[in-house]
Structure 1
Amino acid sequence: MFRKLFRRDRESDAVHDLYANLMSQARKKEFYENYSVPDSLDGRFDMITLHMFLVLHRLKDDKETTETFSQKLFDLMFYDMDLSLREMGVGDVGVGKRVKAMLQGFYGRLAAYEEAMPLGEEVLENALERNLYGTTGADKESLQYMRKYITRQIEHLKGQEIIQLMSGKITFCP
């Protein structure tokens, strides 16, 4: 009975590992220090969302295999957001409202990046300007860097096997 209660689930462990790697990449200080990403709650949320987009974009290539895994990754992200808000002292009522706003922002950003990808560099830069830099604005150099970063990462992630990602292992190119 106790073994079943305390048993670890490999898929959940892999989801946690993948999320930790994604978070580590999204928190790299060079984004905030060198490429105008606001070092704020909004800016960090936007970088996490951008990296979730990259990972989910790759996972959807094999949707039948990855659908449950992708859902668990999404659930973990918003569970983490909920916990973070509570740790910051946001009350129960406020957490629900903020998480709802974060969900709307998350879906909006994912849709904007997904729609912009096939339409070219300028459209993707416009999506980044509205979504990643919406609260502060960005210089042309930062926009170009982040656009190139996204396209490099998408190509890099295509080279990683789905089974590798679903085991929690991911690499991002430098």
Structure 2
Amino acid sequence: MLPRLGRLVTQTSKLRSLTTNGSMKNLSFLSHYGYATVAPAPDAPPLKDFPSKSPVNLDKLFWSKPCSLALPKDSPLRIDEPNYEGVRRFILKVLLFYSKQSISIRRANVIYKRIISQVEKPAIYDVFNLEKTFKITFSLLVLHMWLVLRRLNEEGKEGVDLGQYVYEIYNHDVEVRVSKAGVNLLLLKWMKELEKIFYGNVVAYDAALLPEAKPNELQIKIWRNVFSDDGTTTPDDTDLKAAKA
């Protein structure tokens, strides 16, 4: 799975060059690498597609206390790299604890833990009046994963490699979540469907940030994938219960 995410980054870069050359209409090259074939983005819908009454709870949005993004030293989310000395450090080095791969995996775990902390914050569900269903949580998880992977991609090869480890941890976490929902016999089927949705959303979000993208296209994509039933076909709790049965 690690090489697949690396190829996705490469293909996303190709997507930018293709759109620059006016070839956005054909994205079938993704299917050659095993990704979901992404249909051309439809024209931006008129504003009437958005709800006339805002689903945002403005009271909870504006009256909530400001919160710093910096982690305090006593935060359970804060994990510092251990710095052992002497014989213990020598033994850990022999056991490859300080190898580049081990360090990257620990860093990826820290990053993913931060992602989950944001996705599962009650505030995001309260402010936007969202139900905490599998579909909503998964859609928010994919959105946050895209934000992190896009940021890591800007760090060059080192960032891309770290993003691959983050993606592996994400993929395992999704599998555990689906399994906890009671889906075991059809687990492989659901994982394939969720993988298609992940790659489709990543490409759609990236395309929405291109210079050629229409105004508000990113907002429309996020609305369709997270808040609306017209976007992704992410299975909801009812679908998972039916699969369990």
Q: Same fold (TM over 0.5)?
A: yes
1:37 positional shift: 3.6
Q: How does 1:142-157 map to 2 (within 5 A)?
A: none
Residues 88 and 5 (structure 1), Cα distance of their counterparts in 2 relative to 1, 3 Å cut: farther
**Taking structure 1 as reference, are residues 10 and 89 closer, same or farther at Cα in structure 2, changes over 3 Å only?**
same
Matched residue, 1:125 = 219
Residue in 2 that maps onto 1:146: none
Q: Which residue of 2 aligns with 1:163?
A: none
**Per the alignment, in what secondary structure is the counterpart of residue 90 of structure 1?**
coil
Q: CA deviation at 1:52?
A: 0.5
Q: Give 1 or 2 for the bigger CA radius of gyration.
A: 2
**Mapped contact 1:38–1:133 kept (Cα < 8 A):** no
* Distance in structure 2 (CA, Å) of the matches to 1:104 and 1:36: 27
The higher-RCO structure (CA 8 Å, 6+ apart) is 1
- Which of 159, 163, 169 is the equivalent residue of 1:66? 159
* Paired amino acid for 1:79: H
User: Does residue 1:103 correspond to 2:195, yes or no?
Assistant: yes
| In 2: Cα distance, 1:64 partner to 1:132 partner | 30
Counterpart pick for 1:18 among 104, 108, 111:
111
Q: Does 1:44 align with 2:134?
A: no
Match of 2:78 in 1: none
CA distance in 2, matches of 1:11, 1:44: 26
Q: What is the Cα deviation at residue 84 of structure 1?
A: 1.7
The structure richer in helix per residue is 1
CA distance in 2, matches of 1:18, 1:99: 22
AA matched with 1:102: L
Match of 1:87 among 142, 164, 180: 180
| Count of aligned pairs between the two proteins | 135
**Partner SS for 2:227:** coil
Per the alignment, residue 170 of structure 1 pairs with: none
Alpha-carbon distance in 2 for matches of 1:136, 1:48: 18
Deviations 1:22-72 (A, max 9, x none): 110111112211114442101000111111111011111123122221111
C-alpha change, 1:109 and 1:37, in structure 2 (3 Å) is farther
Amino acid at match of 1:74: Y
Give the secondary structure class of the aligned counterpart of 1:11.
helix
Q: Which runs of 5+ in 1 are unaligned?
A: 138-174
Contact conserved, 1:112 with 1:127, CA < 8 A, in 2?
Answer: yes
- 8 Å contact from structure 2 (residues 115, 141) kept in 1: yes
Give the CA RMSD over aligned residues.
2.3
